[in-house]
Amino acid sequence: MVKTILLDLDDTILDFSRGEANALRRALKRMGLLATPALVARYHAINAAQWRLLELGRLTRDQVMVRRFELLFGELGVEGSGESVSALYESLLAHEHSLMPGALALLKRLAPRYDLYAASNGSADVQHSRLAAAGIAPYFRGIFISEEVGADKPSPLFFQRCFAAIPDFSKETALMVGDSLNSDMRGGIAAGIRTCWFCPAGIGQGASLREKLPDICPDYTITDLFQLPPLLERL
């Protein structure tokens, strides 16, 4: 059986991709730059790469925040302060709180039956603001954000500190649910709990991603959040 569920936030519960694009457009507009779909896609790729480096321990959080914009501006050949634009972007992102399809219904269904905990690598101020604006913070018994925990997923230390803060925690009845193979699935596996990979792109794309990270083998895979409750009932 499952009692405790650790839920990733970005692109699992909160629609980070949509919020990222909206905040980026507004931030670049203030710089006099037009955020075309191609430019937004390029920023997304650069940003994702920097977060992967953080997960590998090669960059700090502060370096990620600034470096993503410095790299983007370098490619565009424009001058700009990565630090100031990052601060502006983060302030705008804090107001983006769109949910993933089915997320609210999922939380409403699971909260009365399971102990739900948010587990995120996002910035603390941004995530708390987004959770409050979306009105979903009350569904969680606790909110673990790496900046406050003092370690980032997939670090075992992140999960150890989460486990220590959960009353009567048992690895045998815990499940990590998230969209990232590296931070969520690798972290959960290393921490000794069951894992459920949320892959909304579908089985085909999921197989392609798995080929790039063949050492990561989640216990379960879902392509729609509505698939999680029936899965939990079987466990």
Catalytic residues: 8
CB-CB neighbours of 79 under 10 Å: 7
| Inter-CA distances, 217 with 88, 186, 208, Å | 38, 8, 13
132 Cβ partners below 8 Å, 6+ apart? Answer: none
Using H for helix, E for strand and C for coil, what is the string for 62-79?
A: HHHHHHHHHHHHHHHCCC
Handedness of CA 51, 52, 57, 63 (dihedral sign): negative
CB-CB contact of 119 with 142 (8 Å): no
> How far apart are alpha carbons 196 and 96 in whole angstroms?
26
Cβ density class 115-130: b for 16+ within 10 Å, e for less: bbbbbbbbbeebbbbb
- Using an 8 Å Cβ cutoff, are 188 and 156 in contact? no
